[in-house]
């Protein structure tokens, strides 16, 4: 069965500190991994997907198939990064069925 694990419910850092939100997955096939973000009072939106290999708002994530991880990183956190972050997985060829992790709330203090 497919599963996404985000071990931290809450991550608190100070502005300018590095951030790493952890995501591990279990899936027997080739997965496609995503990070979705939900800012306060806003809708859930895609932050990035591993296949794009791009940096969005200074965030990057690398798929490590050996460790089955897709951790989200940012070298210098900003207050506006405070939000709920969800890691999600789908089958590589079909993204209809997204399976979300339980989410990590990131708080960035001034």
Partner 1 sequence: DTEVTQTPKHLVMGMTNKKSLKCEQHMGHRAMYWYKQKAKKPPELMFVYSYEKLSINESVPSRFSPECPNSSLLNLHLHALQPEDSALYLCASSLRAGVKDTQYFGPGTRLTVL
Site for partner 1, rule CB under 8 A? 32, 42-46, 49, 51, 86, 92-103
Euclidean distance between CA atoms 73 and 100, whole angstroms: 18
Closer residue to partner 1 in complex, CB, 17/51 = 51
> Shortest distance, CB of residue 62 to partner 1, whole angstroms?
19
> Shortest distance, CB of residue 103 to partner 1, whole angstroms?
6
Instruction: Provide the residue count of the chain.
Output: 110
Closer residue to partner 1 in complex, CB, 6/13 = 6
Which H or E element spans position 34?
Answer: strand 31-38
Closest to 33 (Cα-Cα) out of 103, 86, 106: 86
Closer residue to partner 1 in complex, CB, 19/87 = 87
Euclidean distance between CA atoms 104 and 83, whole angstroms: 8
> Shortest distance, CB of residue 46 to partner 1, whole angstroms?
5
């Amino acid at each position: 069965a497919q599963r996404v694990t985000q071990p931290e419910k809450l991550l608190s850092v100070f502005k300018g500190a590095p951030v790493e939100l952890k995501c591990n997955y279990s899936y027997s096939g080739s997965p496609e991994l995503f990070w979705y973000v939900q800012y306060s009072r806003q809708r859930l939106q895609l932050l990035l997907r591993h296949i794009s290999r791009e940096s969005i708002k200074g965030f990057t994530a690398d798929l490590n198939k050996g460790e089955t991880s897709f951790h989200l990183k940012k070298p210098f956190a900003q207050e506006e990064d405070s939000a709920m972050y969800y890691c999600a997985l789908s089958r590589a060829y079909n993204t209809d069925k997204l399976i979300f992790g339980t989410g990590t709330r990131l708080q960035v203090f001034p």
